């Protein structure tokens, strides 16, 4: 490697703590500042989103049939805020596996919830009204 | 360390220096995997990444369990069998307090983890304690709600909707209770064993668990309580 000759100071100076570790070993944590900053941001966004959800549910500010959709959008936004600021799901290389697992989890959740609602709605539509069913059983 | 590194390690050092925060954006330099992330031939991932990943898989499967209960509630929400509907049993004021308690506990949990990273035993314990107390407030509010409903004769046996309601909300309450017990043992471990590596790993997992519970609660207060109160 010729870098050693070309830039001795940059590549061969004393190691800092982040560099001085073996594979499988851990570098010491960074300072806690950015965790606190993330927590504050996350709390701020969450309060805004939650408060608007609760205010919206009890108000007549927007078109009433649109309220459930608005609530769901707010909930998904808040889950995103939690994932980013509290659970620290990032685009970094140490997180690719986490993101893929999350994507698969979301797929399963949508299949279970969406599939159940879909199937049961059709089943209900095709079923005989309860009164009629009782009459047949007699 | 000596002032001259081994040639083989120079490449690794260069990568770390050019991307000290491991963002992996490679603004300059080689487009190779970053050390410590467990990609390619750069060696195994750090243990904390593997531990976090394993626990993340568990949490996702737990969320899938919750999604089954959500699906049951979504299907049954209209099946009141002549009993009370959701709008009649929701007390939005209590839900506001429950949500505030759980959200703030998520925040203090995060602060406890920041204190862990700063290796401050005192503040880790303080914030864990606050987290636990807020969780306790949440559980007590929920118990109060269930007792009050039972006093009005509203029990899981009454209708399909109520079975799904008590199942979903009760399962979440059970998780928060279990999380509170875990939190208490973590406080004891930090107190006695300090910030050993495996203790820090457990704290990471506990944090993930607590935040995941808050995510599930977002779904519950939106779909069960708020949408129930306007229906």
B9 with B101, same domain?
A: no
B135 with B184, same domain?
A: yes
pLDDT digits (tens, 9 = 90+) for A86-115: 888 877 777 788 899 999 999 999 999 999
B11 with B68, same domain?
A: no
Residue A11 CA to residue B153 CA, distance in Å, equals: 74
B24 with B94, same domain?
A: no
CATH number at residue B55: 1.20.120.80
Shortest Cα–Cα distance, B166 to chain A (Å): 18
- Asked if B13 and A11 touch (Cβ cutoff 8 Å), the reply is yes
| pLDDT higher than 80, residue A23 | no
Using the Cβ of B151 and the Cβ atoms of chain A, whether some distance falls under 8 Å is answered with no
pLDDT digits (tens, 9 = 90+) for B201-221: 999 999 999 999 999 999 999
B192 with B225, same domain?
A: yes
Using the Cβ of B41 and the Cβ atoms of chain A, whether some distance falls under 8 Å is answered with no
- Asked if B183 and B128 touch (Cβ cutoff 8 Å), the reply is yes
Among A45-54, B12-21, B44-53, which range has the highest average pLDDT? A45-54
- Which tokens belong to B63? 């969320």
Number of Cβ within 10 Å of residue B73's Cβ equals 25
Number of Cβ within 10 Å of residue A18's Cβ equals 16
B68 with B29, same domain?
A: no
Shortest Cα–Cα distance, B10 to chain A (Å): 6
B37 with B72, same domain?
A: no
Residues on chain B touching A42 (C-beta within 8 angstroms): 106-107, 110
Half-sphere exposure of B157 (CA within 13 A, CB side): 2
Query: Considering only CA atoms, which of B167, B152, B173 is closest in space to residue B83?
Result: B152
Interface of B with A in 164-203 (CB under 8 A): 197
Query: Considering only CA atoms, which of B43, B36, B39, B198 is closest in space to residue A18?
Result: B36
pLDDT digits (tens, 9 = 90+) for B48-71: 888 989 999 999 999 999 999 999
Domain containing B106 equals 47-230
Out of B22, B95, B118, closest to residue A93 by CB: B22
Residue A135 has a pLDDT of 81
| pLDDT higher than 60, residue A1 | no
Half-sphere exposure of B131 (CA within 13 A, CB side): 31
Domain ranges of chain A: 100-138
State the sign of the Cα–Cα–Cα–Cα dihedral B122, A41, B47, A24. negative
Residue A138 CA to residue A92 CA, distance in Å, equals: 66
B41 with B96, same domain?
A: no
Tokens 């998780």 belong to B175
Tokens 């109160």 belong to B229
Q: What is the largest CA-CA distance in chain A?
A: 97
Higher-confidence position of A135 and B103: B103
B134 with B67, same domain?
A: yes
Shortest Cα–Cα distance, A84 to chain B (Å): 11
| A33 band by pLDDT with thresholds 50, 70 and 90 | confident
Cα torsion at B2, B8, B10, B14 (round to 10°)? -150
Residue B145 CA to residue B140 CA, distance in Å, equals: 9
| pLDDT higher than 50, residue B81 | yes
Model pTM score: 0.79
- Asked if B52 and A124 touch (Cβ cutoff 8 Å), the reply is no
ipTM exceeds 0.85, yes or no: no
Domain total for chain B? Answer: 2
B12 with B100, same domain?
A: no
């Amino acid at each position: 490697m010729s870098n050693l000759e070309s830039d001795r100071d940059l590549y061969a100076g004393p190691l800092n703590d982040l560099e001085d570790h073996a594979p499988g070993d851990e570098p010491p944590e960074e300072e806690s500042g950015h965790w606190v900053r993330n927590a504050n941001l996350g709390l701020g966004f969450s309060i805004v989103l939650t408060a608007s959800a609760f205010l919206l549910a009890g108000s007549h500010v927007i078109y009433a049939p649109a309220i459930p959709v608005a609530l769901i959008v707010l909930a998904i936004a808040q889950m995103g805020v939690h994932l980013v600021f509290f659970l620290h799901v990032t685009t970094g290389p140490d997180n690719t596996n986490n993101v893929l697992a999350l994507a698969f989890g979301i797929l399963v959740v949508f299949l279970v919830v969406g599939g159940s609602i879909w199937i049961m709605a059709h089943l209900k539509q095709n079923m005989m009204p309860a009164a009629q069913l009782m009459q047949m059983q007699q | 360390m000596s002032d001259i590194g081994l040639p083989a390690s120079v490449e690794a050092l260069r990568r770390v220096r050019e991307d000290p925060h491991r963002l992996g954006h490679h603004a300059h330099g080689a487009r190779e995997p970053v050390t410590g992330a467990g990609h390619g031939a750069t060696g195994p991932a750090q243990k904390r990444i593997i531990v976090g990943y394993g626990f993340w898989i568990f949490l996702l499967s737990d969320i899938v369990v919750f999604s089954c209960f959500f699906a049951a509630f979504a299907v049954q929400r209209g099946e009141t069998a002549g009993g009370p509907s959701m709008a009649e049993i929701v007390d939005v004021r209590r839900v506001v307090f429950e949500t505030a308690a759980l959200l703030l506990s998520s925040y203090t949990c995060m602060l406890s983890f920041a204190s862990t990273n700063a290796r401050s035993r005192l503040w880790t314990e303080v914030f864990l304690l606050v987290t636990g107390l807020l969780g306790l407030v949440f559980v007590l509010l929920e118990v109060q709600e269930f007792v009050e409903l039972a006093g009005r004769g509203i029990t899981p046996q009454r209708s399909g909707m109520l079975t799904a309601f008590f199942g979903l909300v009760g399962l979440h309450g059970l998780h928060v209770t279990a999380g509170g017990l875990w939190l208490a043992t973590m406080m004891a471990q930090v107190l006695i064993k300090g910030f050993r590596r495996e203790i820090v790993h457990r704290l990471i997992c506990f944090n993930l668990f607590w935040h995941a519970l808050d995510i599930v609660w977002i779904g519950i207060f939106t779909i069960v309580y708020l949408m129930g109160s306007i229906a």
